[in-house]
Chains A and B, each alone.
Chain A
Amino acid sequence: MKSESKLEKILTQGIFAFTGELGPPRGSNVETIREKAAYLKGNVDMVNITDNQTAVVRMSSWAASIIVLQQGIEPNYQMVCRDRNRLAMQSDILGVYAHGISNILCLSGDHQQFGDHPNAKGVFDIDSIQLISMVKQMRDEGKFLSGDEIDTPPKLFIGAAANPFADPFEWRIQRLAKKIEAGADFIQTQCVYNMNKMREWIKIANEEGLTEKVYILAGVTPMKSLGMAKYMQSKVPGMDVPDEIIKRIEGVERKKQAEEGIKVACEQIEEFKQMKGVAGVHLMAIEWEHKVPELAERAKVLPRPQV
């Protein structure tokens, strides 16, 4: 084992993984974290703790990760390249491991222009692929980026993101290969709505032998409403929502749109369970954590394994 990660144990045992997500609060309110965490506990194997997502200031992801860990849930500490230079990154990596966190997700981060401080100076000292390779070096060689020795290296299970839907499509597999080469142990994809494209992407990943080198967790986000579906289709960068999804949500009466969204998500999860090269699902129920118990139940992924 590369780490003490529960996710790593589940994946290496060949169990279909099911992970969730929790956004830290816009303040120091610990109760809201605990409330959200309670819905996730026992229903997912690990919870991603987002890092100032959409470039809006929130409680730091490492702090929220520790609170989640104290609730008996395994966090996946997300780290973006936007807000920290290589010094801050390495020290935070040491810090989270010291607090018992075993997973990290290495991301570029949404550009600051999207957020609540659009004129902030973006750091982007290193990029997400360089971050992956830095974490791997820290873990496997016990060395900082500078080459200096680390006293007690951080044994983290290293995650990365992949967006099979962004341009240029042909290059997306190459980029996945670069992330694997850099040291990614697992991948969590962008929210999948375009299943045709996802099938094609996974097929190529299988053919290139990439799915043997990395565990791919397919991203699923249930649509809560027609408004959300339309927003995701037109406003969220790198999101690919086919018209048939919009039509399906549109085709039911307003009160039943959320139900239809859940149905779509469950159908996707069923297909992912069978899809060669997919090792699990990452459920991003954005501000819908209270629906996770129902979603997990209906997706037939319960009970979660005790490993």
Chain B
Amino acid sequence: MLSLTIDGNKVEAEAGWSLLDTARQNGIEIPTLCYHEAVEPFGACRLCVVELRQGNNSRLVASCVYPAEQGLDVYTASEKVNNVRRWILEMLLSECPASSEIREMAAQYGVQTTRFEISDPEQECILCGLCVRACAQVVGANAISTVGRGAQKEIGSPYLTPGDDCVACGTCVTVCPTGAMSARFERVRGVPSVVMARSVKR
């Protein structure tokens, strides 16, 4: 067993646990968006960041991927941590304003409105990539991926058209934290009869 401190309280962790595992096992809540037990942690949404302090040094790490180590001094809700969470949530409000999950989470951090321009009022997808990882790691179908990069990045199947790699299992819809995937499922899976026709032709 490893012994470390979270928010000033001594806690224990098993070797191999992440800081997020350790916190949750000890009843400490840390918000996440791109994390799911069923797939490998990704460290992308950064909502789960926690502060590590050592002497005068302090830095933020993503708790979902950072391993629990003996003697760490961890803070899960410091000002530095909350500043990151508030800004991410405020930016998500402008990025995917249609998501009620994001609105609720933002409200918990006191973020009610966004100062930024909204470009797509219908958008729900936060690009956490859970659907892609679930499709690859859980289903093994590899039907979808991220497409493009940076601000232009989106989720889709090759050429953003329905493909026959999709087995229509719906796992992507299940893991999606905002419900965005149910709207675009048709575009990945396609209409079954069309898919059948295409596979016969091949």
A binds B: no
Chain A positions within 8 Å of B, measured between CB atoms, are: none
